[in-house]
Amino acid sequence: MAQVSSHPIPSGLPSFEGREVREMAIIVNKAGDGLSDALKVDKVPHHHGDEVFLVLRTFVTKVNHVEVKPGSDDLRRVETLTAQDAFEVDESDIGPLFRRAKDTVRRKLDEAAGIVPLFAASSGDDDVVPFEDMSDEQQSLYVGHGQGEHASGPVEECPLCDSPPLREGDDW
């Protein structure tokens, strides 16, 4: 079941019987069935600590609403998905999509909590590169740009130099 945030995030979910739906969870049934079929023809042993990427094709088979806390007016929408197919995929095939989706979720949670990122890097194909994944040189360029060091003119290696430098007191 999905982990639920404790801080209030506007849900964007439709109300149910006049009550506010604040949270959402997903249950996936039969996820191993399709994968077991795939393993019959492509046996790949896994070891403790291995990172394994799976793709599932599911259908929504049940939608339920339960109280977030007993006696609460707020509800949690619980969707049950039934897996039809499951396949292991290579990290090189799914990795960039997975990282982009993970970063989008992290960014939206931060925004909902009022956290505004100082730096966002783009590799040119709308792929956001997290600051901690940048090389030391890239980090230095982004920090320098953010501190206004490139105000006298664009620095060729800095992908942010198309944007105005951030200065203390700048309004977001």
Q: Which of 12-16, 86-90, 94-98, 152-156 has the lowest mean pLDDT?
A: 152-156
If asked whether residues 26 and 78 sit together in one domain, one would say yes
Determine the Cα–Cα distance for residues 102 and 2; give it in Å rounded to an integer: 14
Mean pLDDT on 104-123: 69
**141 Cβ contact partners less than 8 Å away, ≥ 6 residues apart:** 155, 157, 158, 160
Q: Which of 28-32, 128-132, 144-148 has the lowest mean pLDDT?
A: 128-132
If asked whether residues 27 and 84 sit together in one domain, one would say yes
Q: Is 116 inside any structural domain?
A: no
Kindly state the tokens that stand for 162: 């198309």
Task: Determine contact, residues 65/21, Cβ cutoff 8 Å.
Answer: yes
If asked whether residues 83 and 38 sit together in one domain, one would say yes
Residues 57-108: tens digit of each pLDDT: 999 999 999 999 999 889 999 999 999 888 888 888 888 888 888 888 888 8
Kindly state the tokens that stand for 149: 């060091």
Q: Count structural domains, the chain.
A: 2
Q: Is 106 inside any structural domain?
A: no
Domain limit, last residue, from 48, 71, 89 = 89
Burial 63-93 (b: 16+ CB within 10 A, else e): eeeeeeeeeeeebbbbbbbebeebeeeeeee
If asked whether residues 83 and 140 sit together in one domain, one would say no
If asked whether residues 29 and 75 sit together in one domain, one would say yes
Q: Is 67 inside any structural domain?
A: yes
Determine the Cα–Cα distance for residues 156 and 1; give it in Å rounded to an integer: 47
**In the predicted structure, residue 170 carries a pLDDT above the cut 70:** no
Q: Is 78 inside any structural domain?
A: yes
For CA atoms 86, 59, 80, 76, give the dihedral sign: positive
Q: What is the largest CA-CA distance in the chain?
A: 63
pTM above 0.75, yes or no: no
Domain that holds residue 142: 121-162
Domain limit, last residue, from 40, 69, 89 = 89
Q: Is 29 inside any structural domain?
A: yes
**In the predicted structure, residue 144 carries a pLDDT above the cut 80:** no
Q: Which of 5-19, 79-93, 119-133, 151-165 has the lowest mean pLDDT?
A: 119-133
Task: Determine contact, residues 80/64, Cβ cutoff 8 Å.
Answer: yes
Q: Between residues 89 and 131, which one has the greater pLDDT?
A: 89
Determine the Cα–Cα distance for residues 103 and 84; give it in Å rounded to an integer: 27
Q: Is 11 inside any structural domain?
A: no
Kindly state the tokens that stand for 100: 């982009």
